[in-house]
Structure 1
Amino acid sequence: MQDIADRLDAWHRAGRSFAVATVVSVSGSAPRDPGAALAVDADGEAVGSVSGGCVEGAVYELCQQALADGDPVLHRFGFSDEDAFAVGLTCGGIIDVFVQRVVPGADPGLDAGLAYLASGSPVALVRVIDGPAALTGATLAVTADTHHGSLAARVPDSAALESAAAVQARAMLEAGRTGQFTLALDGRPCDPAAAHTAVFFVESHVPAPRMIVFGAIDFAGAVARIGGFLGYHVTVCDARPVFATERRFPGADQVVVDWPHRYLDAEAAAGRLDGRTALCVLTHDAKFDIPLLERALRMPLGFVGAMGSRRTHRDRLDRLRESGLTDLELNRLRSPIGLDLGARTPEETAVAVAAEIVAHRRGGSCLPLSAHGGPIHHDHPAQDRPRRIA
């Protein structure tokens, strides 16, 4: 829902009702991840997408129905073997879509959640997507220290369920996870197949992951641009003020003049690094690289890669071993950085670097899809965890 938050906020502030359809479960080769959303307002305007086009028309109709009758609905879409022309995902995947009406001012949990979402503040939007009819559609907005909304307003004696849901959602927010969990109606954990349960869908919205590019060289500009395209908040850092300028790196969100290892230490101490952070070390200069990598490889960062020739790489490993790093720590270093695409230009190199980062994060094989019959989409939930580093 993050990608349409601005439009939803505009509708909400204008007092316009709308229906939002959210992907809450995916299996197989589905095109969008859980949390993808399509919304339709009372005038019929639509924003967002749940499938890249396969089932948008049917979901649009579900949204209009929800606007008309106010009833939330959980609907499954998948490829139909009996009728290939039936509404479904021709890619062979299956998605579950939850549709609900949003009336500004009617649900404190939804109101607060949309406000947090629009402001960019971390929040877990927690919705009951299956269970007793009176609870379905109930929403909590959970932050690090409180939550808004109430299940008890819908079902008396549900305080324990509300408290347990908020605790579970807060843990998912801290881990940056989006997904489902099931609780018994008294708040206890239970088997998802058990009777008398409530199924919750949690959308965790946290700040964009960080990419820090060390080395203000021409390749850094291309890597910064593609990092922004992938959704990273990109910082370029170099100790040389003549090279580290905003004019040279318009694609970066931030340009910093500082020694790389000193900047990394400061960011870690401030809690601004986590398990989704990607470090691209492009300086291939030992006086910058060694102190930086000595620290970075001891931090639980998402990706640490370094540019350089094979000879530079071997020399770098020798120096890092001399500084005390273990083989286990050194095995985390992706060097030379990037996939073997035969890249030469800065732009081609940036594509190779970005491809390796995506493959590392998602668990991809790095093989051409035509070379194997395995799954097209991969996911490594652990790579998405925003574990704070201090």
Structure 2
Amino acid sequence: MLNIADTLHTWCCEGRPFALATVVHVTGSAPLPPGTAMAVDADGNAVGSVSGGCVEGAVYELCQQMLDERGPARRARFGYSDDDAFAVGLTCGGEIDVLVQRVDPAAMTPLACALDEVVQGRPTAIAHIVDGPDRFLGSTLRVVGEGGADDGTIAGLRAAPEVTAQARALLRAGRGGRVEIGGDADTCPERVSVLVHTQAPRPRMLVFGAVDFAAALSQAGSFLGYRVTVCDARPVFATPARFPHADQVVVDWPHRYLAGTEVDERTAVCVLTHDAKFDIPLLRLALSLPVGYVGAMGSRRTHERRIDLLRETGVPEPQLEQLRSPIGLDLGARTPEQTAVSITAEIIADMNRRSGVPLTQLTGPIHR
């Protein structure tokens, strides 16, 4: 639902009831992932999408029924129809489950409060019960970042503390997901499925080397939603004017800066200096940290020499295997802009544990 958070927040502030349709499960190939939502207000205004167009009309009608009937939340399934090309269904061949519920802002305090946190850009998770006993279906819990107050209870749900704990863990990891909770007769007999929507702080991209390639990469990284830092020890080159798309430009020795800054499993470290006096201490440290990606620019010869020097400093083989060098995918890139696409494509594939092989050479579902 975070795809339409701004509009939902406005409707909540205005006290305007609306029906919310959320994709809660996807089977096979479908246009949009779980968590994507569409909403319809009492005046018939619609926002968002659940299928990219395939079943929007049917979902719109369900939303209007929910507003008129004021009934409990319910699920609906949409899939591909072989018998009638014009039937309601997904022409891409997949199936989606949609949870449709009425939202009265006056009675949905956790959701309204969570949306307020989201639009202000604060780290927030919304734990949304999408399967289980009817009395819990559609209920939400709000979990905020460090220092915030959570809405930690749902009337009658003994597993609420576990829901909050799972949502907080996903928020720390910077990703959403679906978790199954309960089903234990001794502690929590009700089994519920919870879809956790998260707005985490932007992941970081640390670009070392104030070169032309870094300017293009910082622009590409910013476009992908990264908080980009460009770092170089040479003040004449590391200036904000040269890197207008970077969130931060730092003048410091790369390894010293990396040692003192915060990183996590979503952080991408891109070393573009291809100068041993910068590269070796920086890569030695980067490969020992719990970051998501470490890549280094340079020719094959530079790479081989770099690996030898890293071995001499004691970097173990398992860490060396994590180094993406020469950096980027084989796209034939030559310009800084093309190279930035090559690097970011590799980061996307690496973070998602995908091969980077053309889809035409693969079989099976596109989205796994």
TM-score by length of 1: 0.86
Q: In the alignment, does 2:165 pair up with 1:162?
A: no
Does structure 2 conserve the Cα–Cα contact (< 8 Å) formed by 1:32 and 1:51?
A: yes
Q: Secondary structure at the match of 1:355?
A: helix
What amino acid is aligned across from residue 39 of structure 1 in structure 2? A
2:296 counterpart residue number: 306
2:243 counterpart residue number: 249
Does structure 1 conserve the Cα–Cα contact (< 8 Å) formed by 2:152 and 2:164?
A: no
1:386 counterpart residue number: none
The alpha carbon displacement at 1:181 in A equals 1.4
Q: Secondary structure at the match of 1:241?
A: coil
Q: In the alignment, does 2:274 pair up with 1:284?
A: yes
2:182 counterpart residue number: 183
Q: In the alignment, does 2:346 pair up with 1:356?
A: yes
What amino acid is aligned across from residue 319 of structure 1 in structure 2? L
The alpha carbon displacement at 1:41 in A equals 2.7
Superposed counterparts of 1:11-90, under 5 Å: 11-70=11-70, 71-90=72-91
The 3 A distance-change label for structure 1 pair 182 and 77 is farther
The 3 A distance-change label for structure 1 pair 86 and 104 is same
Identity of paired residues, percent? 57
| Matches of 1:248 and 1:173, distance apart in 2 | 34
> RMSD of the alignment, in Å?
2.2
The alpha carbon displacement at 1:342 in A equals 0.7
Does structure 2 conserve the Cα–Cα contact (< 8 Å) formed by 1:161 and 1:187?
A: no
Q: In the alignment, does 2:189 pair up with 1:199?
A: no
What amino acid is aligned across from residue 151 of structure 1 in structure 2? I
The alpha carbon displacement at 1:356 in A equals 0.8
What amino acid is aligned across from residue 147 of structure 1 in structure 2? D
1:2 counterpart residue number: 2
The 3 A distance-change label for structure 1 pair 251 and 69 is farther
TM-score by length of 2: 0.91
2:215 counterpart residue number: 221
The number of equivalent residue pairs is: 364
1:208 counterpart residue number: 202
Report Cα offsets for 1:202-223 as digits up to 9, x if no partner. 2232112111111111111211
Q: Secondary structure at the match of 2:202?
A: coil
Q: Secondary structure at the match of 2:314?
A: coil
What amino acid is aligned across from residue 205 of structure 1 in structure 2? Q
Q: Secondary structure at the match of 1:247?
A: helix
The alpha carbon displacement at 1:325 in A equals 0.3
The alpha carbon displacement at 1:188 in A equals 4.3
Give structure 1 stretches of 5+ with no counterpart.
Answer: 191-195, 379-390
1:171 counterpart residue number: 169
Q: Secondary structure at the match of 1:349?
A: helix
The alpha carbon displacement at 1:187 in A equals 8.1
| Matches of 1:149 and 1:16, distance apart in 2 | 25
1:233 counterpart residue number: 227
Does structure 2 conserve the Cα–Cα contact (< 8 Å) formed by 1:306 and 1:334?
A: yes
Report Cα offsets for 1:169-200 as digits up to 9, x if no partner. 3333333342131423868478xxxxx53322
The 3 A distance-change label for structure 1 pair 375 and 65 is same
Counterpart among 148, 169, 172 of residue 151 in structure 2? 148
Superposed counterparts of 1:255-266, under 5 Å: 255-266=249-260
| Matches of 1:2 and 1:142, distance apart in 2 | 14
| Matches of 1:86 and 1:288, distance apart in 2 | 61
Report Cα offsets for 1:94-150 as digits up to 9, x if no partner. 222222222223122212221222222222211222222222122111235753163
Q: Secondary structure at the match of 2:269?
A: strand
